[in-house]
């Protein structure tokens, strides 16, 4: 910004990146303050919104290697407020932002850091990500018509949480053992609101099942951490089509952009993808049994928990199955450390309804997965999380979506 005219709505900007040991600058009262770093693209997202809305604000630039204590003492993240009024557009928006975090941003950094043939290969993957993103771009901007945002909260951090779960396609190799271990938990009874569920995972070559009309349809796979939880929590009538993810039927690929589950087919024929995106969409379009806290601070905390899960815990969880020997031990210790950090944000009770449900599938799998990897969950270190798990296991949605091997 140094060579350019400072926009009038930026009332103050610290001229240097402040670091540990330096005093906190005198902030102008009653003004938005953005803690930032000049070259950070994520901070730029927020600056873009501030400029788009021409909101008066001040910017405190920070040295991210030696962060000042007064900054570390502040934890809240601002809520980005630019949303289309239409719930489906909001869902599409989240998907596009998620895609950016999932594939385009990592490919961009890999491309910038590699050389020679490796760099060429990364360029291809960057282009592939951009092409996918472009598929969502209409004639103008992505979501140019942000007609009267309806005040519903949302966040980009949550969408970024999806980025942590790219590599989650594989279940442990010893699938039978794993299922057995999962089964050892409480049994499940499918809720009455599940009006149809395919008895098997349908595959390429098999005909599309006859779907009941005017009903939500969830394309799923029984052992995937897909989120049936929100449908159960809200007791929404729906039908489930389970799919073989190795040999996906063509009729499913024709409906889905990513070919992944979960995907939600709405009665009007539109298809939504991504577990976080579809869960939030259901919350926004079906107000019964609300999952968002009404308090804005609590909503921000909820987003933080979901983001922490996606960025830290879930990658650590899957890493356990990608390494062996000493690396496996280190991966387990890392997982426990991440869980401890998660625990430190858990109060005396639960996280928040949406956060509880969005992180639960991996906790359901925690003990069986650790024991399969040859470790035991250190319950003493994770006491509050264990009590939270005990409470979660009583919840109706959890009981009604629990995995069993009844297929």
Ligand X SMILES: N[C@@H](CCC(=O)N[C@@H](CS)C(=O)NCC(=O)O)C(=O)O
Point out which residues bind ligand X (CB under 6 A): 162, 165, 168-169, 221, 224-225, 245, 259-262, 274-276
Query: String of b and e for 34-65 (b: at least 16 CB within 10 Å)?
Result: bbbeeeeeebeebbebbeeeeeebbbbbbeee
CB of 47 to ligand X, least distance (A): 27
CB of 262 to ligand X, least distance (A): 6
CB nearer to ligand X: give 19 or 206.
206
CB of 395 to ligand X, least distance (A): 21
CB nearer to ligand X: give 146 or 245.
245
CB of 361 to ligand X, least distance (A): 9
CB of 364 to ligand X, least distance (A): 13
CB of 261 to ligand X, least distance (A): 4
Measuring CA to CA, which residue among 160, 188, 98 is closest to residue 303? 160
The CA distance from 89 to 338, in Å, is: 34
CB of 259 to ligand X, least distance (A): 5
CB of 339 to ligand X, least distance (A): 20
CB of 127 to ligand X, least distance (A): 20
Residue least distant from ligand X (Cβ): 224
Phi (first) and psi of residue 33, to 5 degrees: -125, 125
CB nearer to ligand X: give 47 or 165.
165
CB nearer to ligand X: give 191 or 262.
262
The CA distance from 182 to 402, in Å, is: 9
CB nearer to ligand X: give 35 or 363.
363
CB nearer to ligand X: give 43 or 372.
372
CB of 161 to ligand X, least distance (A): 9
CB nearer to ligand X: give 181 or 276.
276
CB nearer to ligand X: give 170 or 347.
170
CB nearer to ligand X: give 270 or 295.
270
Q: Are 71 and 62 in contact (CB under 8 A)?
A: yes
CB nearer to ligand X: give 299 or 365.
365
């Amino acid at each position: 910004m140094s060579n350019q005219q400072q926009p009038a709505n930026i009332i103050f900007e610290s001229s240097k990146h402040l670091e540990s040991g330096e005093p906190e600058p005198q902030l102008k009262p009653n003004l938005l303050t953005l803690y930032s770093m000049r070259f950070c693209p994520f901070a730029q997202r927020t600056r873009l919104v501030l400029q788009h809305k021409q909101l008066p604000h001040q910017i405190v630039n920070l040295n991210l290697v030696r962060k000042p204590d007064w900054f570390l003492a502040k934890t809240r993240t601002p809520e980005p407020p630019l949303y289309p009024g239409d719930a489906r557009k909001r869902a599409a928006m989240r998907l596009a932002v998620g895609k950016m975090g999932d594939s385009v941003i990592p490919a961009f950094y890999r491309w910038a850091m590699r050389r020679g043939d490796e760099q060429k290969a990364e360029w291809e993957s960057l282009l592939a990500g951009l092409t996918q993103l472009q598929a969502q771009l209409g004639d103008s901007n992505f979501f140019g018509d942000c007609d009267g945002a309806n005040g519903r909260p949302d966040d980009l951090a949550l969408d970024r949480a999806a980025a942590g779960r790219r590599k989650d396609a594989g279940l442990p190799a010893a699938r039978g053992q794993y299922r057995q271990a999962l089964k050892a938990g409480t049994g499940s009874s499918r809720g009455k609101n599940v009006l149809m569920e395919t008895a098997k995972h349908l595959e390429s070559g098999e005909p599309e099942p006859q779907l009941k009309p005017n009903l939500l349809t969830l394309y799923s796979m029984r052992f995937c951490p897909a989120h049936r939880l929100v449908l159960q929590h809200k007791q929404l009538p729906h039908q489930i089509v389970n799919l073989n993810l190795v040999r996906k039927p063509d009729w499913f690929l024709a409906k889905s952009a990513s070919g992944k589950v979960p995907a939600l087919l709405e009665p009007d024929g539109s298809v939504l993808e991504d577990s976080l995106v579809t869960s939030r969409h259901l919350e926004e379009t079906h107000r019964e049994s609300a999952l968002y806290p009404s308090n804005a601070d609590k909503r921000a905390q909820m987003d933080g928990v979901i983001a922490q899960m996606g960025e830290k815990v879930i990658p650590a969880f899957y890493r356990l199955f990608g390494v062996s020997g000493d690396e496996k031990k280190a991966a387990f210790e890392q997982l426990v450390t991440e869980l401890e950090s998660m625990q430190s944000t858990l109060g005396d009770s639960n996280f928040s309804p949406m956060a509880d449900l969005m992180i639960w599938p991996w906790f359901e799998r925690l003990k069986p997965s650790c024991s399969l990897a040859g470790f035991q969950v250190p319950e003493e270190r994770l006491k509050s999380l264990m009590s939270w798990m005990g409470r979660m296991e009583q919840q109706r949605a959890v009981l009604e979506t629990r995995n069993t091997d009844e297929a």
